[in-house]
Structure 1
Amino acid sequence: MAVVFVITLAMLTAATVISGSPVTLTLERAFPTNHGVELNQLRARDLLRHRRILQSSNGVVDFDVHGTFDPFQVGLYFTKVQLGTPPVEFYVQIDTGSDVLWVSCSSCTGCPQTSGLQIELNFFDSGRSSTSSLISCSDRRCNSGIQSSDATCSSQNNQCSYTFQYGDGSGTSGYYVSDTMHLDTIFEGSVATNSSAPVVFGCSNQQSGDLTKSDRAVDGIFGFGQQEMSVISQLSSQGIAPRVFSHCLRGDSTGGGVLVLGEIVEPNIVYTPLVPSQPHYNLNLQSISVNGQALQIDASVFATSNNNRGTIVDSGTTLAYLAEEAYDPFVNAITATIPQSVRTVVSRGNQCFLITSRLG
């Protein structure tokens, strides 16, 4: 049960001093007292207030975030995009480890038909959108995708296409289309729901691996990488949104979070620089500590290099992964910290701790 606390103020006066002279400021009600206030009105007001933490000279593009971190529930975060004319809604996984936005096509082989996430899956049909067009091999955007390995080209049909293989062994292939994306743009606390922009995205006609499973199925993947084929880069090049995004994940049981194309202004955020000139979002991980004690791990294990070593931030990956040189000391340190009274079991070759209450 949700409990809502409403504090009603008849009228307050606040006194301050400017250049030695007292000035009285009058604070009035946001809502009148002669009738009750609907919960949706309060939520709408709070939503506008919360949006004031978003900062950009051109406004920001806002996306609702669903899902949780818990791998035993959802194990992923996803959002909703609207594509085509008339617009069709698609639920897509948020993935900072890839560049391209793609959704399942009406001709897809191996695409799940239902989802255990209690969402309705849709399939993109370019023939039903009046603003849809195919991307040819001669298109400049296709050439940009080829240079970043996000696109391929077939001389047989002059069609710009793609084939992606993800780290979990799943994969997808299809072709590129251009169509309208409908956006919620926030500017100075107001929302313009009628904004839109043409974007290039993938139409998946074949999927494999975990992408074919229905238990956590979504309509596609929304890549938030740095290359030109990413929606971030496309909207930035059109002057619609800044080339920066903010992705805050809620780590409790309610899940969700915040995802905007723009900057979040929050004084309590701790920042860390990214390693420049890398295909992914690499961090300078320096050490790992357990219970305040730094582990004896050679710093070179974390160093970013040209052979795909280093530490990246990837919202599309459920678990955190460590190199063996760091993993063994880390697990050993945690094991030594757990009290002997805690029951342990081995599940699929991994040692697990069964904890029924918070450790002191």
Structure 2
Amino acid sequence: MERALPHRGVPAEHLRERDRARHKGRGLLGGGPAVAGVVDFPVEGSANPYMVGLYFTRVKLGNPAKEYFVQIDTGSDILWVACSPCTGCPTSSGLNIQLEFFNPDSSSTSSRIPCSDDRCTAALQTGEALCQPSDSPSSPCGYTFTYGDGSGTSGYYVSDTMYFDTVMGNEQTANSSASVVFGCSNSQSGDLMKTDRAVDGIFGFGQHELSVISQLYSLGVSPKTFSHCLKGSDNGGGILVLGEIVEPGLVFTPLVPSQ
């Protein structure tokens, strides 16, 4: 995380102002809410197919908070975790991690997202939600996703508290939280059912409104930017942060909106 923090001896505010000016013309930070620090997520796993074959991180959800291991995926938008009950969901993992099942009824801060919710309406427009015309406004906002390897998951959306570490401009780390919408999976198929590399869910880093990046940006928690460095060694791991990396200087390029 040293690379995410301003160099000592240079006022942090000077670096932030320089970075804001540098990015403003590129549309990365302009026109949005005021944003705070860098959100840091731990990275585990490796690309070695004989060791792990995937990269994953940990997220804390609910009240009381529980930790869930979720695969890092830049090809999708939604964060989802396995819920209880779940058809086809593995109960053990060959990655030497303890799998958990999220239970909305056991969290004092959890609420189900109905079809009438504006967030469900936005997800319907991007194909990330399912609500039939015959459904009542109070019906759960559901989803079905199929990934590139043919595996799939379905469930419904909930809103609950996510906990994370925020690195502020004064180089201090703060425990932070925010209410986010994520998927509650009650069915899985394909490779997601296999126990050798089983995790609790998938963390999507796409651009749509229900991605955690977009949600934290709209709440003013972090910029709509993420950076990751994935180590290719057998030890694996890496760095995953939401927000701006000030030093060393990075070259940004916008994603193609239609892709």
Measured against the shorter chain, the TM-score band is 0.7 to 0.9
Residue equivalent to 1:190 = 172
Amino acid at match of 1:192: A
RMSD of aligned Cα (Å):
1.8
Local SS of the residue matching 1:236: helix
**In 1, distance between residues paired with 2:86 and 2:196?**
18
Shift in Å, 1:268 = 7.2
**In 1, distance between residues paired with 2:220 and 2:252?**
27
**In 2, distance between residues paired with 1:262 and 1:192?**
15
**In 2, distance between residues paired with 1:273 and 1:50?**
19
Shift in Å, 1:153 = 1.0
| 8 Å CA contact 2:4, 2:245 repeated in 1 | no
Amino acid at match of 1:89: E
| 8 Å CA contact 1:51, 1:189 repeated in 2 | no
| 8 Å CA contact 2:3, 2:247 repeated in 1 | no
Unpaired segments of 5 or more residues in structure 1? 1-46, 280-360
**In 2, distance between residues paired with 1:162 and 1:59?**
31
- Equivalent residue for 1:250, pick from 206, 231, 244: 231
Shift in Å, 1:265 = 3.3
Residue equivalent to 2:129 = 151
Q: Deviations over 1:284-329 (max 9, x none)?
A: xxxxxxxxxxxxxxxxxxxxxxxxxxxxxxxxxxxxxxxxxxxxxx
Shift in Å, 1:274 = 3.9
Residue equivalent to 1:18 = none
**In 1, distance between residues paired with 2:225 and 2:3?**
19
Figure out how many residues of one structure are paired with residues of the other and give that number: 230
Distance 1:229 1:77, change over 3 A: same
**In 1, distance between residues paired with 2:228 and 2:248?**
16
Amino acid at match of 1:126: P
Higher relative contact order (CA 8 A, sep 6+): 2
Larger radius of gyration: 1
Local SS of the residue matching 1:264: coil
Identity fraction in percent: 60
TM-score (norm 1): 0.61
Local SS of the residue matching 2:131: strand
**In 2, distance between residues paired with 1:77 and 1:111?**
19
Unpaired segments of 5 or more residues in structure 2? 8-14, 17-34
Say whether residues 1:71 and 2:24 are aligned partners. Answer: no
Distance 1:102 1:275, change over 3 A: closer
Say whether residues 1:174 and 2:134 are aligned partners. Answer: no
TM-score (norm 2): 0.84
Amino acid at match of 1:215: D
**In 1, distance between residues paired with 2:248 and 2:180?**
34
